[in-house]
Structure 1
Amino acid sequence: MLKRISTSQVELGMFVHKLEGSWLKHPFWKTKFVLDDTETLQDLRDADIDGVVIDISKGLDVQPLRHAAAPRPAPAQTAPQRRRFVPPSTPAQFDLASTAPQSTAREFGHATKLAERGRKVVNKVFLQARLGKTIKAEAIEPVIEDIFASVQRNPHAFNGLMRCKQEHEYLYRHALACSALMISLGRELKLSPGELREAGMAGLMFDVGINQLPVDLAALGGDHRKLPIEIFARHTRLGHDFLLASGMPQAVADAALHHHERNDGSGYPDGLLGGTIPLLSRMAAICDAYDELASLGDELGAIDPGAVIERMAAMPGKFDPVVFDAFVRCMGSFPIGTIVELKSQQLAMVIDQDGTDYAKPTVRTFYSLVTGESVKSENIDLANCYGADEIVGLADLSWFEPEDVLELRQRMMLLATRAR
């Protein structure tokens, strides 16, 4: 049962179901949690929010006021007993706002639900942008919170899912993927909670200006790469102006304006150099380029996530080196979805990461280079197989059709999810 109370009424042991008001005004990422420490309690009472909705089926209720006339006995000289809340005995459905650690395979299932929920919100927001209507930060808050919670539960699952999930609505998927990438990168750079919020919002919104270009992308199959650069480049200022008019934070609007700037000054719209480019924009430049190359490829065709990392590393001067190094650390040398060649002369896809050694992920085999035939899939934890197998390099995918590679990724990820 839900009950709305004021911040002055919150107490330890309550289950916070929702914080009313803009999340830009309070320090909490989670909006559903048990209030179990005094520091969080004080932060909540001090927060600039309209009210708190608690769930009394999961936590304590507001205590009734005592009548002033009723005599109170003298307090006993014993330590006060802290009230305990005993949760219901029936198992609860998984709370997608939880940040408790989850395995990659299990989090894939949660991330799939979040991606679909987020796609609907982003779809609506982008349609409003195309119609010239401003948006409110509150409209996309749930999407950012969902993605942040997923990244907290497992830093690789949501991004891995995006690599293995291809849709016709590229812009929506790209927005969700970049939001997760920005949050992961921001965590690696140790940004503050407020900066992480803005990073996630920037990833979701920095391409919103594409929807305001005077073109019909549907007629181009949704592929903005077919637009003349002088037309496409206008999306940065259009997005910046739209976000400012919508009341979005300045840093988020600036990320839309400058996410195509390059460290050596070769980008647009202002040809900014190095440190003159805002941090969120330097982060966005990397996340945007990575996801686009891993999803659409370029004139060389669709390429593998691991090959994208190599390709970007071979672009000296294009990306901030410190930020790019942090990006590689949080993604791993072989991101989920990368297809690799093993010492055993098999091809396999990376399906999980080892947090202590990103050069030794968990892979799932599917093809023998010796026989030239498919093999029964097997999961190999390269960090714990005692050298029985190892990655010798990225697989040569030139003899696979791009559509076959995409279908393979989706099938392998589905198997990994079912195996959780």
Structure 2
Amino acid sequence: MRIHVTDILDGDKLSSDVFNDYGLHVLSKGTKLYKSEISRLLQHHIDFVDIEERQLSTPAAHNGRTLESIVNPKWLPNVKPLYESAVKSFETFFSSAEATGKIDTDQVAEAINPLIKNLQLERDVVSMLLLLNSEDNYTYQHSVQVGMLSYYLATWMNYSQEESTRIGKAGFLHDIGKSKISDTILNKPSKLTKEEFDEVKRHAELGYHIILDSFGDESLAIGALQHHERLDGSGYPNGLSGDQIHPISKIIAVVDIYSAMISARVYQKERDLLYVLRELHRLSFSELDPVTTHTFIKHMIPNFIGKRVRLNTDEVGIIVMTHPTEFFRPLIQIEDTFIDLTIERDFEITHVYM
């Protein structure tokens, strides 16, 4: 049974091996097709595949799910309790840091190591964070999300598993200095005064000392100290620029902004996810390290394949393929029509439905 890739249903099984136009083996006969496999086919510019005859009793046939359907993550029952446990643990860590200036290193490992281990099984980071994110406990959730994203970005930048885990840990701990800042200031719904903002900025140095005193590890502490430094020298606390900023801090800086912008907080409405990535792209030409930022965007964009979008014409379609360099101009399917935004320059995506 030969079908177009956009007609694949979750659970369809390949009846033959799939190769791309260069003869590279993409997927094996017998592979069951879900969102990640469909994304892989589209990235290799494969239009048609041969699948085994569908059985009407299969979940995919019964539900009629297609690319447009929302991902049904098999990892959620395992990851969600670990995520919620880590968020709860960070409340304890913040209380300990506030009271004693230190955190228990063994407790930190117990909270984050199982989560990182399970992250290795899931690559649809966009859907994962949306399903896990809530409006409660922003500071603690933000710490956990930055840790998760720091781990992912480190692996995408070809750090070893051991190094990526350490960078993830640095991301988890990056905001621990906020334990020493008043909740009234941190959760203020209106704009901070200059004095209040100066107080918030202290969290970078405070966190550095808490981590160093607790772990004795400069590479963990440097992420807390420098994650608000910017390449053009406009950041804090020391106004560092360029290569003065540690590579770990450059990673945490990117994901810190992403997590903050996708979250619903007391003083801001969560932003459209594609808008957030566009903003990171803009900052990569001034404040953020371009290699780090573009690596993050390049690996996040394919997760939008299968998501519904609204165009500036008010038409609604589905992203079926992303572009390796023009990140924000994918191939869109609207019913039986395909629009390549790299060619049709008058079209723009105005919203992504998640």
Instruction: Tell me how far apart the structure 1 counterparts of residues 115 and 322 of structure 2 sit (CA, whole Å).
Output: 20
The code of the aligned residue for 1:345 comes to: E
Equivalent AA in structure 1 for residue 289 of structure 2? D
Worse-superposed segment, 310-319 or 198-207: 310-319
TM-superposed CA distance for 1:212, in Å, is: 0.8
1:110 aligned partner: 78
Paired with 1:211 and 1:225, the residues of 2 have a C-alpha distance of: 20
C-alpha distance in 1 between matches for 2:96 and 2:191: 23
Map 1:181-330 onto structure 2 (within 5 A): 181-213=149-181, 215-217=182-184, 221=187, 226=192, 228-296=196-264, 301-315=269-283, 316-330=285-299
Are the structure 2 counterparts of residues 122 and 223 from structure 1 closer, same or farther at C-alpha, using a change threshold of 3 Å? farther
Taking only the aligned residue pairs, the percentage that are identical comes to 23
Compute the displacement of 1:271 (Å).
Answer: 0.9
Hey, what does 2:124 align to over in structure 1?
Answer: 156
Question: What is the identity, as a one-letter code, of the residue corresponding to 1:395?
Answer: T
Q: Is the 8 A contact 1:240 1:257 kept in 2?
A: yes
The structure carrying a bigger helix percent of its residues is 2
Shift in CA distance, 236/346, structure 1 to aligned 2, threshold 3 Å: same
Distance in 2 of aligned mates of 1:267 and 1:338: 35
Match of 2:350 in 1: 395
Distance 1:176 1:394, change over 3 A: farther
1:129-167 Cα distance to aligned partner (Å, 9 max, x none)? 12224223221213332332232111224x533234222
Residue 146 of structure 1, aligned match among 114, 126, 141: 114
Q: How many residues align?
A: 271
SS state at 1:291 partner: helix
Query: 1:337: how far off?
Result: 11
Q: CA deviation at 1:191?
A: 0.8
> Structure 1 residues 133, 262: CA separation in 2 closer, same or farther (over 3 Å shift)?
closer
Offset at 1:359?
8.9
Alpha-carbon shift at residue 294 of structure 1 (Å): 1.6
Distance, in Å, in 1 between the alignment partners of 2:117 and 2:237 is: 34
* Residue type of the alignment partner of 2:301: G
State the TM-score, normalizing by the size of structure 1.
0.56
After superposition, the Cα gap between the structure-2 partners of 1:222 and 1:340, relative to the gap in structure 1 and judged at 3 Å, is farther
Aligned CA distance change for structure 1 residues 181 and 110 (closer, same or farther; 3 Å): same
For residues 281 and 386 of structure 1, do their structure 2 counterparts lie closer, same or farther at Cα, with a shift above 3 Å needed? farther
Deviations 1:18-68 (A, max 9, x none): xxxxxxxxxxxxxxxxxxxxxxxxxxxxxxxxxxxxxxxxxxxxxxxxxxx
SS of the aligned residue for 1:135 comes to: coil
Corresponding letter in the other structure for 2:83: A
Corresponding residue for residue 20 of structure 1: none
Separation in structure 2 between the aligned mates of residue 337 and residue 171 of structure 1, nearest angstrom: 31
Q: Distance in 2 between matches of 1:313 and 1:297?
A: 23
Residue 193 of structure 1, CA deviation:
2.6
The whole-number CA distance in structure 1 between the counterparts of 2:118 and 2:321 is: 18
* Alpha-carbon distance in 1 for matches of 2:206, 2:155: 29
Instruction: State whether residues 258 and 268 of structure 1, in contact with CA within 8 Å, keep that contact through their aligned partners in structure 2.
Output: yes
CA 1:332–1:345: 2 relative to 1, 3 Å = same
The residue type paired with residue 184 of structure 1 is Y
Distance 1:388 1:125 in 2: 51
Q: Structure 2 vs 1, CA of residues 139 and 184 (structure 1 numbering), >3 Å: closer, same or farther?
A: same
Aligned in 2, Cα 1:388/1:118: closer, same or farther, shift over 3 Å?
A: same
Closer, same or farther: CA 266–122 of 1 in aligned 2, 3 Å = same
Deviations 1:271-315 (A, max 9, x none): 111111001101111111111112158998531111011112122
Provide structure 2 residue ranges, at least 5 long, that are not aligned to the other structure. 1-70, 342-346
Structure 2 counterpart of 1:346: 316
Q: Is the Cα–Cα contact under 8 Å of residues 308 and 316 in structure 2 kept in the other structure? A: no
Could you tell which deviates more after superposition, 307-316 or 263-272? 307-316
Which secondary structure state, in structure 2, belongs to the residue aligned with residue 116 of structure 1?
helix
Deviation at 1:339, TM superposition (A): 6.5
Change (3 A) 1:183 1:267: same
Distance, in Å, in 2 between the alignment partners of 1:145 and 1:232 is 29
Q: 1:224 to 1:173 in 2, by over 3 A?
A: farther
C-alpha distance in 2, partners of 1:356/1:144?
A: 34
What TM-score do you get using the length of structure 2 for normalisation?
0.65
CA-atom RMSD in angstroms: 3.7
What is the correspondence of 1:25-44 to structure 2 with a 5 Å cutoff? Answer: none
Name the CA shift for 1:297/1:387 in 2 (closer, same or farther; >3 Å): farther
Counterpart of 1:318 in 2: which secondary structure? coil
Change in Cα spacing, 1:382 to 1:105, as seen in structure 2 (3 Å) is farther
The structure with higher relative contact order (CA 8 Å, sep 6+) is: 2
Structure 1 unmatched ranges of 5 or more: 1-102, 361-380, 398-407, 410-420
How far off is 1:107 after superposition?
1.9
Residue in 2 that maps onto 1:331: 300
**Structure 1: how far apart are the matches of 2:107 and 2:200?**
26
Q: What secondary structure sits across from 2:73 in the alignment?
A: helix
**Structure 2 letter corresponding to 1:394:** I
